[in-house]
């Protein structure tokens, strides 16, 4: 019988639409404006802290929807508007002082039963939800300098292996390596060795004040390769750190020769994001200087928790955090925070080789941070800010080596569970190849996002209403059925976007508007084909069947070619272009489903299996 779907096909379509409705439903529950309060290295948020927060908000007259303590020791205050959010942040910051991190946030309101089945709202992009924008600059001089430091250790090792006696190997401030030998003959042998071993070296032999010196420079090509590697490695590390933060659809990309742009949609806690992303924390493992310390180069370091307490360490580094392949925060048997470390193969070999001969000696774990201080000067009556980079190093652990260490061991001596979690995150994400400094920082507030959402939603509503009116007036009952399918198409589109955790941006909203037009275009093709079949004298049921069947190829061709273009846009584009491509791609697939199956099912339910003399189309 023409124009009748079997029961299983109707049930299948109904099941898809019901599931779509469930997974689109979380988008009906907008996030609450919120203020998040967390502790620092020296403070923690407790029930008493929450009481102080509530008292401060009451005294300030800020209307609060609710307060709660979260499992990770963070207090969350829910508010009804962005104005109340800003007022609450100011009041809480004044009450608690500088010992806490008080940040804007957005708190989900999705019902628990929806969250339990993995349903959640669409992620909104930076232009809709707000978020943070960072412009970072990579210290290229440090990148080259760090590579030269590695060469210093390698050269010392090779000269010792070849029994070529040298006095000193130094990394000069002008970017050269200077090697002083006992005589010119040894220097010449070393020169030949280095030129054979390192193609990237330019070697210059000189006699200075009767002493034999060898100066080593890197080739220009090698310096460019080091700089490119530093940018690429930092991009990879930053992306890993962003992924650890759980940010959906972030933007991390290179800008110019030595800068990186990071955009984090939905992140209102700029302080926490900056702490994780901008932190150039690394580790160094060094042996404590022994009784014969006069024979080796040494350095004195203070402890992070007590700078007045110091230890003298050997200058040679056993391994750094770059050798860490995995790191997990945990607690020891006394409930103190620690980090369980797993090294890569090379790092494990180095650690084993050194500790094998250092039983009962102490090994230090040094926490290294590259920071930046701002120096404000007045030049010719104008205020000028100058950023000065500096490095902080502090011992976090100094423990006796009881046995040979291999690929796995633990780091203790951390101040808090938060610090152990952050250190594990940074080590897992990988070490930065060179320090990075913040050049620009912007926070896109939720008020701007709300305005964009309102305007974007209005554009969809206007476009949708005009299409519905046109279809209803021009195609009557068939137009009404197409409108129902078109509405279900939007529900299906939102559900798929939510399931994929895709990020909706303003260009993405443009993609939705375009999808509405494309979806109705398919129905127009079908309905016009039906009318043509009826004008050619076909019975109504045959005309309906023929209209859907003969329009299928045209609809498929048009949508497939558009889908190919959308895939290319996604693959080649960045940022807003990708947002548009994702929405367009999903919209093409959902519109084909609703135009070819849902509309057909509705037409079958209304007209299928009946003797018809006239239809309103």
Which of 8-17, 197-206, 329-338 is least confident?
329-338
Question: Which is higher by pLDDT, 613 or 317?
Answer: 317
Euclidean distance between CA atoms 19 and 25, whole angstroms: 10
User: Is residue 188 within 8 Å of residue 181, measured between CB atoms?
Assistant: no
* SS3 assignment, position 550: helix
pLDDT value of residue 413: 65
For residue 294, pLDDT over 60 is answered with no
What tens digit of pLDDT does each residue of 14-57 get? Answer: 999 999 999 999 999 888 888 888 876 557 888 888 899 999 99
Burial status of residue 12 (CB atoms within 10 A of its CB: 0-12, 13-18, 19 or more):
middle
What integer is the mean pLDDT of 542-563?
Answer: 88
Angle, CA 104 vertex, CA 98 and CA 105 arms, to 5°: 135
CB 251 within 8 A of CB 155: no
Question: Is 526 a residue whose pLDDT tops 70?
Answer: yes
- Residue 155: pLDDT over 80: yes
How far is 286 from 295, CA to CA, in rounded Å? Answer: 16
pLDDT for position 402: 81
Q: Higher confidence at residue 101 or residue 139?
A: 139
- pLDDT tier at 1, thresholds 50, 70, 90: low
pLDDT band at 399 (very low <50, low <70, confident <90, very high): confident
pLDDT at 280: 60
32-107: what CATH class?
A: alpha beta
CB 234 within 8 A of CB 142: no
Length of the chain: 617
Quote the pLDDT of residue 323.
81
Residue 478 sits at φ, ψ, to 5 deg, of: -60, -35
More confident residue, 504 or 481: 481
State how far the alpha carbon of 541 is from the alpha carbons of 1, 378, 448, 524, 615, in Å.
Answer: 10, 86, 53, 18, 10
The topology under which CATH files domain 141-223 is Ribosomal Protein S8; Chain: A, domain 1 (3.30.1370)
Query: Please, which pLDDT band fits residue 313 given cuts at 50, 70 and 90?
Result: very high
Give residue 431's pLDDT.
63
pLDDT at 97 (0 to 100):
77
Q: Model confidence over 324-354: pLDDT tens digits?
A: 778 788 887 788 888 888 888 888 888 888 8
The ranges assigned to domains in the chain are 7-26+445-607, 32-107, 141-223, 279-444
CA–CA dist 221, 311 (Å, integer): 40
**pTM for the structure as a whole:** 0.59
Q: What is the DSSP string of 85-147?
A: HHHHHHHHHHHHGGGEEEEEEEE----HHHHTTT--PPEE-HHHH-EEEEEEEE-HHHHHHHH
For domain 279-444, give the fold.
Gyrase A; domain 2 (3.30.1360)
Taking alpha carbons only, the member of 395, 201, 361 closest to residue 292 is 361
Average pLDDT over every residue of 541-552: 88
Q: Are 459 and 511 in contact (CB under 8 A)?
A: no
Model confidence over 79-88: pLDDT tens digits?
988 788 888 8
pLDDT in tens, 225-243: 888 888 888 888 888 777 6
Computed over every residue of the chain, the mean pLDDT equals 83
pLDDT confidence of 489, banded at 50, 70, 90? very high
Q: How big is the chain by its Cα radius of gyration, in Å?
A: 33
118: its two tokens: 């993995």
> According to the model, what pLDDT value does residue 494 have?
92
> What's the confidence (pLDDT) of residue 13?
93
- Stretch among 183-197, 303-317, 477-491 having the lowest mean pLDDT: 303-317
Tell me the mean pLDDT in the region 143-161: 85
467 pLDDT higher than 90: no
* Interacting residues of 65 by C-beta distance below 8 A, sequence separation 6+: 32, 78, 79, 80
* Res 253 pLDDT > 90: no
pLDDT band at 492 (very low <50, low <70, confident <90, very high): very high
Contact by Cβ (8 Å): 477, 616:
yes
Does residue 433 register a pLDDT over 60?
yes
For the residues 245-250, what does the mean pLDDT come to?
60
Is 60 exceeded by the pLDDT of residue 112?
A: yes
What is 7-26+445-607's CATH topology? Multidrug efflux transporter AcrB transmembrane fold (1.20.1640)
Q: Is the pLDDT of residue 456 over 80?
A: no
Residue 90 pLDDT: 84
Q: What is the pLDDT of residue 493?
A: 93
* pLDDT over 80 at 110, yes or no: yes
Distance from C-alpha of 75 to C-alpha of 52, rounded to nearest angstrom: 11
User: Residue 367, SS3?
Assistant: strand
Ranges 44-48, 146-150, 168-172, 403-407, most confident: 168-172
pLDDT tops 90 at residue 283:
no
Whole-number pLDDT of residue 8: 92
d(C-alpha 108, C-alpha 236), whole Å: 30
Write down the pLDDT at residue 575.
Answer: 63
Tokens 């994780």 belong to: 276
Mean pLDDT for the stretch of residues 126-142: 82
Least confident of 143-157, 416-430, 584-598: 416-430
pLDDT at 513 over 90: no
């Amino acid at each position: 019988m023409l124009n009748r779907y079997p029961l299983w096909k109707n049930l299948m379509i109904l099941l898809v639409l019901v599931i779509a409705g469930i997974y689109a439903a979380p988008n009906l529950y907008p996030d609450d404006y919120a203020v998040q309060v967390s502790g620092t290295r020296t403070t923690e948020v407790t029930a008493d802290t929450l009481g102080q927060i509530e008292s401060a908000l009451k005294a300030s007259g800020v209307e609060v929807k609710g307060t709660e303590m979260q499992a990770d020791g963070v207090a969350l205050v829910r508010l009804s508007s962005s104005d109340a959010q800003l007022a609450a942040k100011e009041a809480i910051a004044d009450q608690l002082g500088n010992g806490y991190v008080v940040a804007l946030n957005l708190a989900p309101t999705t019902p628990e039963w929806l969250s339990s089945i993995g349903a959640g709202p669409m992620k909104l992009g930076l232009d809709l939800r707000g978020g943070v924008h960072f412009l970072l600059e990579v210290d290229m001089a440090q990148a080259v300098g760090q590579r030269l430091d590695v060469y210093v250790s390698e050269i010392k090792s090779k000269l010792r292996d070849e029994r070529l006696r040298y006095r000193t190997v130094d990394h000069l401030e002008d970017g050269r390596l200077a090697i002083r030998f006992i005589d010119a003959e040894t220097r010449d042998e070393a020169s030949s060795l280095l030129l054979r071993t390192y193609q990237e070296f330019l070697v210059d032999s000189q006699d200075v004040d009767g002493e034999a010196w060898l100066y080593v420079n890197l080739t220009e090509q090698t310096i460019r390769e080091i700089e490119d590697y530093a940018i690429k490695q930092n991009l990879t590390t930053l992306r890993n750190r962003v992924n650890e933060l759980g940010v959906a659809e972030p933007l991390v990309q290179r800008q110019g020769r030595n800068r990186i742009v990071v955009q984090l949609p939905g992140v209102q806690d700029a302080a926490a994001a900056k702490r994780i992303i901008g932190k150039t924390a690394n580790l160094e493992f060094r042996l404590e200087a022994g009784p014969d310390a006069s024979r080796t180069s040494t350095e004195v370091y203070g402890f992070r928790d007590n700078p007045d307490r110091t230890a003298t360490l050997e200058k040679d580094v056993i391994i750094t955090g770059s050798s860490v392949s995995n790191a997990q925060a945990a607690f020891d048997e006394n409930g103190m925070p620690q980090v369980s470390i797993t090294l890569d193969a090379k790092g494990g070999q180095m650690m084993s080789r050194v500790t094998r001969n250092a039983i009962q000696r102490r090994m230090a774990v040094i926490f290294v941070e590259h920071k930046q201080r701002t120096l404000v000067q007045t030049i010719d009556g104008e205020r000028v800010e100058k950023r000065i980079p500096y490095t902080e190093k502090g011992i976090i652990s100094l423990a006796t080596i009881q046995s040979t260490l291999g690929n796995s061991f633990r780091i203790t001596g951390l101040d808090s569970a938060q610090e152990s979690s952050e250190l594990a995150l940074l080590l897992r994400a990988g070490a930065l190849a060179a320090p990075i400094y913040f050049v620009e920082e912007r926070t896109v507030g939720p008020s701007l996002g709300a305005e964009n959402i309102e305007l974007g939603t209005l554009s969809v509503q206007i476009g949708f209403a005009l299409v519905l009116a046109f279809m209803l007036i021009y195609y009557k009952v068939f137009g009404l059925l197409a409108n129902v399918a078109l509405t279900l198409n939007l529900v299906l589109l939102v559900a798929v976007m939510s399931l994929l955790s895709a990020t909706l941006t303003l260009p993405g909203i443009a993609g939705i508007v375009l999808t509405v037009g494309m979806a109705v275009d398919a129905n127009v093709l079908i309905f016009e084909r039906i009318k043509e079949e009826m004008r050619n004298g076909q019975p109504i049921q045959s005309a309906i069947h023929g209209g859907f069947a003969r329009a299928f190829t045209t609809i498929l061709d048009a949508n497939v070619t558009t889908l190919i273009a959308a895939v290319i846009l996604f693959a080649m584009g960045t940022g807003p272009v990708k947002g548009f491509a994702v929405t367009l791609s999903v919209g093409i697939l959902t519109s084909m489903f609703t135009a070819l199956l849902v509309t057909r099912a509705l037409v079958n339910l209304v007209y299928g299996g009946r003797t018809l003399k006239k239809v309103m189309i």
